[in-house]
Amino acid sequence: MSTDAFIRVRPAAVAGMFYPGTPSQLSSDINRYLNDASTSASTRLPRALIVPHAGYIYSGAIAASAYHLLESEVQKINQVILLGPSHHLAFNGIATPDADYFATPLGNIRINQAFCHKALTLDFVQALSTAHQREHSLEVQLPFLQTVLADFELTPLVVGNCGPEAVSRLLKLLWDTGDGDSDGTLVIISTDLSHFHDYETAKKLDEQTSQAILQLQPEKISAHNACGKAPLNGLLTLAKERQLRIECLDLRNSGDTASDRTRVVGYGAYAIY
């Protein structure tokens, strides 16, 4: 954590590894992914997105199919609530950061302190900077957001050992209070799908998971199906309660994007309306 007397900045941890470390190359790659992204049939602004979090050469194109939907609605979103699983630290509950800004090669993103403090009123939410320090599942989303949105604040939340009901409670508190108005706030769930199967096995497993997502059946999704199952299932639980609609934007795996098909990771992108 970089800090001075007034400003606390969480520096980029995976720039130059999961995505380019220079602003020019990073912008070039993201714009190429966005330009190549397929157009959704929907003309509505999504209320939530589900996106993958691997290195850009593996999942950048899939993530872009979701972020592409935001480009024409850039002025309508000013808050982003971003949830992803913990890959480096085992802990119970959900973690807010101890930072004022998150940094990427494209600049700093302001953290919504009011939302973080509100989240901390729940007994399963804690301020835990070590959960954020090396976590890539949130960080890889940030350059896409910086590219497709104008001025926005971020509420980054790392999800540890936590059930979907807790995530759903948190989302109700910060995002969907039941009145149908999310006030320019977008929720993003970061998750990959199956891991390290051969290409054909992964396709079959990921199609089953995709159907569970589309049919709002979180009970059918385990950690074997999606590494971000806790935040994913929390969103699906709330979406089912609110009778929201889900659209699959892209469903592929690393065998489609990086050639090797002997041991692949699955990626899906979805929009919720």
Distance, CA of 106 to CA of 84 (rounded, Å): 21
Residue ranges of the domains in the chain? Answer: 7-195+203-254
Q: Does residue 100 sit in helix, strand or coil?
A: coil
Helix axes 23-36, 56-67, angle to 10 degrees: 60
H helix intervals, the chain: 23-36, 56-67, 113-119, 129-133, 136-139, 142-148, 164-174, 199-214, 229-242, 254-257
Distance, CA of 15 to CA of 20 (rounded, Å): 6
Spell out the per-residue pLDDT of the chain, length 273, in tens: 655 558 999 999 999 999 999 999 999 999 999 999 977 766 789 999 999 999 999 999 999 999 999 987 777 899 999 999 999 999 999 999 999 999 999 999 999 999 999 999 999 999 999 999 999 999 999 999 999 998 999 999 999 999 999 999 999 999 976 655 567 999 999 999 999 999 999 999 999 999 999 999 999 999 999 999 999 999 999 999 999 999 999 999 999 999 799 999 999 999 999
pLDDT for the residue 120: 98
Q: How far is CA 109 from CA 51, 115, 146, 149, 181, in A?
A: 19, 15, 8, 11, 24
pLDDT for 229-244, tens place per residue?
A: 999 999 999 999 999 9
DSSP symbol at 123: T
Instruction: Report, at the CATH architecture level, how domain 7-195+203-254 is classified.
Output: 3-Layer(aba) Sandwich (3.40)
